[in-house]
Amino acid sequence: MLKVDGLTVRADTVELVRDVSFAIAPGERVGLIGESGSGKSLTALSLMGLLPEGVTASGLARLGDRDLVGVPESRVKGLRGRALSMVFQEPMTALNPLMRIGAQVAEVMTLHGRPRQEARERSAELLERVRLPEPGQIARAYPHQLSGGQRQRVMLAIALANGPELLICDEPTTALDVTVQKQMLDLIGEVAPALLFITHDLAVVAAMCERVLVMYGGRVVESGPLREVFTRPRHRYTQGLLAASRLTPRGTRLPTIAGSVPPAGRFPGGCVFRNRCPHATPTCETTPALTGDGHAYACWHPAD
Ligand SMILES: Nc1ncnc2c1ncn2[C@@H]1O[C@H](COP(=O)(O)OP(=O)(O)OP(=O)(O)O)[C@@H](O)[C@H]1O
């Protein structure tokens, strides 16, 4: 369980992230959205103990019974890549260009005390787990010999190597083309023990997460179950974000769906998530998406 309470990030006297609080339970997938500069990355980096020089965090952040903020660097280093790990947007900067892939995956385990031979064997398993084709061949390759999507899978393997309790992803698929992006998102959803997923892309959040936090100007301005936030946004910023996104066709008024069980066939309102609705077909209005079975997607269609 991750618990963040009153997290504030400062550069000198300037508050860049203010009083952020949220929790992520095991198995939960939480999206963190907000415009550029709203403080998403700094929030994540402060949990990882990776804030840039001159930037400091205060407040409470605890994973299980271990503090992540306000503790000595050596303590955070012991947790990073073990209890929690992160996948960034650009894998090339995170991978060592001179080291073979298999050795890089194994290294993150030997660094945390696993015997070399065991780490090597597990690294082969991990490359397979992230569904890299020919994992043996990939293990012997150097980063530049892999595609962007393959490199990102390697980063995921590294992130999972020590069995973390929490995975943080910061725009992990932005640099990938759409088909590869989808496969990567499916994989992350499948393997993450608990997930904090940072993105600009509301459709990705809709497909990945059951809960969402919206940041604006360094604060969390809105949070809650995805369906609630996306269909009944309370904060003006969230309303604007949704209205501007491709999830909502221009001019569509977000319908109220509270407690409603739609009749088979036609639904009132517009298809809010049409572009990325998991059903993504013209027949998705006949799916049970809004019948209270836990789907977080609003797949209803304009009534004729
Ligand atoms: N090292 C730094 N020193 C001072 N200010 C910083 C530093 N790093 C980031 N900031 C500022 O902190 C604010 C939040 O940055 P952050 O990177 O967390 O935003 P973000 O929401 O992740 O944006 P993006 O989506 O573009 O990555 C921004 O105004 C940014 O300019």
Minimal-distance CA residue to ligand 1 atom 9? 42
Regarding whether 217 and 97 lie in a shared domain, the answer is: yes
- Please indicate, yes or no, whether residues 21 and 150 belong to a single structural domain of this protein: yes
In a domain, 121, yes or no: yes
Q: Cα of 94 to ligand 1 centre, how many Å?
A: 19
Residue nearest to atom 10 of ligand 1 (CA): 16
**Structural domains in the chain (count):** 2
Residue to mutate, 7, 40, 169, ligand 1, most ligand atoms under 8 Å from C-beta: 40
So what's the pLDDT on residue 287?
A: 33
CA 73 to ligand 1 centroid distance, Å: 22
* Per-residue pLDDT tens over the stretch 250-304: 334 333 333 334 444 444 334 444 334 433 344 333 333 332 333 333 444 444 3
Distance from Cα 199 to the centre of ligand 1, integer Å: 14
Which residue, judged by its Cα, is nearest atom 17 of ligand 1? Answer: 41
115-131 pLDDT, tens digit per residue, is 999 999 999 999 999 99
Predicted local confidence at residue 243, as pLDDT: 67
What confidence score (pLDDT) does residue 181 get?
84
Instruction: For residues 263 and 164, state if they share a domain.
Output: no
**Is the confidence at residue 98, as pLDDT, over 60?**
yes
Domain assignment present for residue 241? The answer is: no
Within-domain flag for 240: no
Separation of alpha carbons 117 and 1, rounded Å: 32
Confidence of residue 163 (pLDDT cuts 50, 70, 90): very high
Contact 193, 164 (CB under 8 A): yes
- pLDDT band for position 89 (cuts 50, 70, 90): confident
179 with 260, same domain: the answer is no
Q: Is there an atom of ligand 1 within 6 Å of 13 CB? A: no
* Residue 238 domain-assigned (yes or no): no
With respect to residue 50, please indicate whether it lies within any of the assigned structural domains.
yes
Residues 213 and 302 in one domain: no
- Asked if 103 and 222 sit in the same domain, the reply is yes
Please list the alpha-helical segments (H only) found in the chain: 40-48, 73-79, 91-94, 101-110, 116-129, 135-140, 148-160, 178-191, 202-208, 226-231, 236-244
With a 6 A CB cut-off, is 89 part of the ligand 1 pocket? no
pLDDT top residue among 279 and 102: 102
- The whole-number pLDDT of residue 251 equals 39
Per-residue pLDDT at 263: 42
Q: What is the CATH number of the domain that holds 145?
A: 3.40.50.300
Q: What is the pLDDT of residues 2-52, one digit of tens each?
A: 999 999 999 988 999 999 999 999 999 999 998 888 999 999 999 999 999
Q: With 90 as the cut, is the pLDDT of residue 62 above it?
A: yes
For the cut 90, the answer to whether the pLDDT of residue 83 exceeds it is yes
First to last CA, the chain: 46
Distance 2 CA to ligand 1 centre (A): 22
pLDDT at 28: 96
Q: Which of 199, 231, 263 is the last residue of a domain?
A: 231
Q: Is the CB of 181 inside a 6 Å radius of any atom of ligand 1?
A: no
Q: How far apart are CA 304 and CA 287, in angstroms?
A: 18
What integer pLDDT is reported at residue 160 of this predicted model? 95
pLDDT of residue 235: 87
- Tell me the pLDDT of the chain averaged across its residues: 81
On the CB side of 32, CA atoms within 13 Å amount to: 27
**Which residue from 12, 38, 168, 202 has its CB within 8 A of the most atoms of ligand 1, so it is best to mutate?**
38
19 and 65 inside one domain: yes
Answer yes or no: are the C-beta atoms of 206 and 222 closer than 8 Å. no
Considering the domain architecture, whether residues 98 and 182 belong to the same structural domain is answered as: yes
Residue 236 domain-assigned (yes or no): no
Find the domain containing 271 and state its range.
248-304
Percent helix / strand / coil, the chain, rounded to 5: 35, 20, 45
114 & 195 share domain: yes
Question: Using one digit for the tens of pLDDT, what is the confidence trace for 189-231?
Answer: 999 999 999 998 887 888 889 999 999 999 999 999 988 888 7
Burial class (CB in 10 A: 0-12, 13-18, 19+), 92: middle
| Residue ending a domain, choose from 231, 258, 279 | 231
Q: Looking at residue 91, what is its pLDDT?
A: 73
Same domain assignment for residues 198 and 299: no
Say if ligand 1 is within 6 A of residue 38 CB.
yes
Q: Are residues 224 and 277 in the same domain?
A: no
The answer on 226 and 177 residing in a single domain is: yes
- The average pLDDT across 54-61 equals 96
Please give the DSSP secondary-structure letter assigned to residue 252: P
In this structure, which residue's CA is closest to atom 19 in ligand 1? Answer: 37
The residue among 172, 202, 231 that closes a domain is 231
Residue 239: inside a domain: no
Short-list 145, 150, 106, 104, CA closest to 131: 150
pLDDT of residue 245: 62
